[in-house]
A and B are shown apart, each in its own frame.
Chain A
Amino acid sequence: MLTSLDKELSGVLRPLVELGAVIRVSQFPNSLCLGFHYLLAHGDGGRLPKEGVVPSGRIDLADWNFPRETLQRDKKHFNGIYLLYQPKGLAKNLCSQQMDSQSFFSSVPVTRFRPRYAFLLSTPESREVVSRSNGKLNKAVFDDLIARQVRVNFQTDVTEQAKELVGLLATGDQSERIRFVGAGWPIGTAVDDEQITLLYYGATITAYMRQNADIFLALEIDDSLVADSPAFETHVLWTVPRTLADRSGVVRQCISQYHELLFGASAERRSSHLFAATRAACNEVLGRFNPGIPHRVLANVDAFRTVLQDHHSSPN
Chain B
Amino acid sequence: MKSEQTTPHNLHDVFTPASADPSLNFVARGGTEDDLNHYLDTQGRPICVERPFRCGKTSLVLRSVRTRYKRIVHVVCNNATTFDELLSRALDELAPVVSLVVESKEIKTKPGFKGAFGVEVDLGGGSKETLETMTPVLQPQLTSASVARFMVEADAAWVIDDAHKLTEPEFRKVACAMREWQTMTFPGGYPKMIVVASDIGAPSATHRLIDGAPDLTTRLARLGLSLMSDSELSQIIKRGEDLLNIDLSAIHHSVLQYSFGFPGICHDLCLQACRAAKITRTADNKVTLNSAHLQQGLKKYVDEYAHSIKDSFEKVRDALSQSVSPAFYSYVLGKVASRSVGEGIGLKVLSSEVEANLGLSQEVVASGIQQFFSEDSGVLRFEPTTKVVLFREPLYRAFYIQQSAAESDEIEREELASAFLRVLSNEE
Within 8 A of B (CB), among A41-75: 48-51, 54, 56-61
Bound form: Cα–Cα A36–B422 in Å: 11
A39 close to B419 (CB less than 8 A): yes
Within 8 A of B (CB), among A273-316: 276-277, 280-285, 288-289
Bound form: Cα–Cα A1–B292 in Å: 10
Stretch at the interface among B2-10, B55-63, B409-417: B409-417
A54 close to B420 (CB less than 8 A): no
B421 close to A280 (CB less than 8 A): no
A285 close to B420 (CB less than 8 A): yes
Which A residues are CB-close (under 8 A) to B417?
A: 280-281, 283-285
B428 close to A1 (CB less than 8 A): no
Which B residues are CB-close (under 8 A) to A281?
A: 413, 416-417, 419-420
Total A-B pairs, Cβ < 8 A: 69
Closest to A54 in B: B423
Bound form: Cα–Cα A59–B425 in Å: 9
Does residue B288 face the partner (Cβ distance < 8 Å to A)?
Answer: yes
Closest to B415 in A: A48
B413 close to A61 (CB less than 8 A): no
Bound form: Cα–Cα A59–B421 in Å: 10
Does residue A87 face the partner (Cβ distance < 8 Å to B)?
Answer: no
B424 close to A50 (CB less than 8 A): no
B424 close to A35 (CB less than 8 A): yes
Which interface class (under 10, 10 to 19, 20 to 34, 35 or more) fits A? 20 to 34
Does residue B250 face the partner (Cβ distance < 8 Å to A)?
Answer: yes
Which B residues are CB-close (under 8 A) to A283?
A: 417
Interface centre among B247, B412, B415, B417 (most CB of A within 10 A): B417
Does residue B218 face the partner (Cβ distance < 8 Å to A)?
Answer: no
**Which of B290, B409, B414, B423 contacts A59, CB < 8 Å?**
B423
Does residue B231 face the partner (Cβ distance < 8 Å to A)?
Answer: no
B420 close to A284 (CB less than 8 A): yes
A51 close to B413 (CB less than 8 A): no
A48 close to B421 (CB less than 8 A): no
Closest to B417 in A: A284
Q: What's the minimum C-beta distance from B296 to chain A, rounded to whole angstroms? A: 15
A56 close to B420 (CB less than 8 A): no
**Which of A2, A50, A57 contacts B426, CB < 8 Å?**
A57
Closest to B418 in A: A284
A56 close to B416 (CB less than 8 A): no
A56 close to B421 (CB less than 8 A): no
Contact code string B325-336 (vs A, CB < 8 Å = 1, else 0): 000000000000
Q: What's the minimum C-beta distance from A97 to chain B, rounded to whole angstroms? A: 24
**Which of A39, A282, A288 contacts B423, CB < 8 Å?**
A39
Closest to A6 in B: B416
Bound form: Cα–Cα A61–B424 in Å: 6
Bound form: Cα–Cα A39–B288 in Å: 18
Chain B interface, >50% SS class: helix
Q: What's the minimum C-beta distance from B249 to chain A, rounded to whole angstroms? A: 5
A284 close to B421 (CB less than 8 A): yes
Which interface class (under 10, 10 to 19, 20 to 34, 35 or more) fits B? 20 to 34
B421 close to A51 (CB less than 8 A): no
Contact code string B384-428 (vs A, CB < 8 Å = 1, else 0): 000000000000000000000000010011111111111110111
**Which of B250, B412, B413, B428 contacts A56, CB < 8 Å?**
B428
Which A residues are CB-close (under 8 A) to B247?
A: 50-51
Q: What's the minimum C-beta distance from B180 to chain A, rounded to whole angstroms? A: 57
Which A residues are CB-close (under 8 A) to B427?
A: 56-57
Bound form: Cα–Cα A188–B97 in Å: 75
Are A277 and B288 CB-contacts (below 8 A) given A48-B419, A51-B249, A61-B424? Answer: no
Interface centre among B415, B416, B421 (most CB of A within 10 A): B416
Contact code string A118-149 (vs B, CB < 8 Å = 1, else 0): 00000000000000000000000000000000
**Which of A1, A50, A51, A59 contacts B416, CB < 8 Å?**
A1
B424 close to A59 (CB less than 8 A): yes
Contact code string B244-259 (vs A, CB < 8 Å = 1, else 0): 0001011000000000
Bound form: Cα–Cα A41–B249 in Å: 20
Which A residues are CB-close (under 8 A) to B290?
A: 48
Which B residues are CB-close (under 8 A) to A58?
A: 423
Q: What's the minimum C-beta distance from A36 to chain B, rounded to whole angstroms? A: 5
Contact code string A262-277 (vs B, CB < 8 Å = 1, else 0): 0000000000000011
Bound form: Cα–Cα A288–B253 in Å: 14
Bound form: Cα–Cα A57–B425 in Å: 8
A282 close to B424 (CB less than 8 A): no
**Which of B288, B413, B420, B428 contacts A36, CB < 8 Å?**
B420
Bound form: Cα–Cα A50–B286 in Å: 12
Bound form: Cα–Cα A35–B412 in Å: 18
Q: What's the minimum C-beta distance from A282 to chain B, rounded to whole angstroms? A: 7
Interface centre among A49, A61, A283, A285 (most CB of B within 10 A): A285
Q: What's the minimum C-beta distance from A84 to chain B, rounded to whole angstroms? A: 15
B413 close to A277 (CB less than 8 A): yes
Q: What's the minimum C-beta distance from A190 to chain B, rounded to whole angstroms? A: 32
Q: What's the minimum C-beta distance from B420 to chain A, rounded to whole angstroms? A: 4
Which A residues are CB-close (under 8 A) to B414?
A: 280, 284
Which A residues are CB-close (under 8 A) to B423?
A: 35, 39, 54, 58-59
Closest to B419 in A: A48
Bound form: Cα–Cα A288–B423 in Å: 13
Bound form: Cα–Cα A39–B421 in Å: 11
Which B residues are CB-close (under 8 A) to A59?
A: 423-424, 426
Which B residues are CB-close (under 8 A) to A60?
A: 424, 426
Within 8 A of B (CB), among A6-63: 35-36, 39, 48-51, 54, 56-61
Q: A1-B412, A50-B288 are known contacts; what are 20 more A-B pairs with Cβ within 8 Å?
A: A35-B420, A36-B416, A39-B423, A48-B250, A48-B290, A48-B415, A54-B423, A57-B428, A58-B423, A60-B426, A61-B424, A277-B412, A277-B413, A277-B416, A280-B413, A281-B417, A283-B417, A284-B417, A284-B420, A284-B421
A residues with a Cβ closer than 8 A to B are 1-2, 35-36, 39, 48-51, 54, 56-61, 276-277, 280-285, 288-289
Can you give 19 contacting A-B residue pairs, CB < 8 Å?
A2-B416, A35-B423, A35-B424, A49-B419, A51-B247, A54-B423, A57-B428, A58-B423, A277-B413, A280-B413, A281-B417, A281-B420, A282-B420, A283-B417, A284-B417, A285-B417, A285-B421, A285-B424, A288-B421
What 5 A-B pairs have minimum CB-CB distances, sorted nearest first? A284-B417, A280-B413, A57-B428, A281-B420, A1-B412
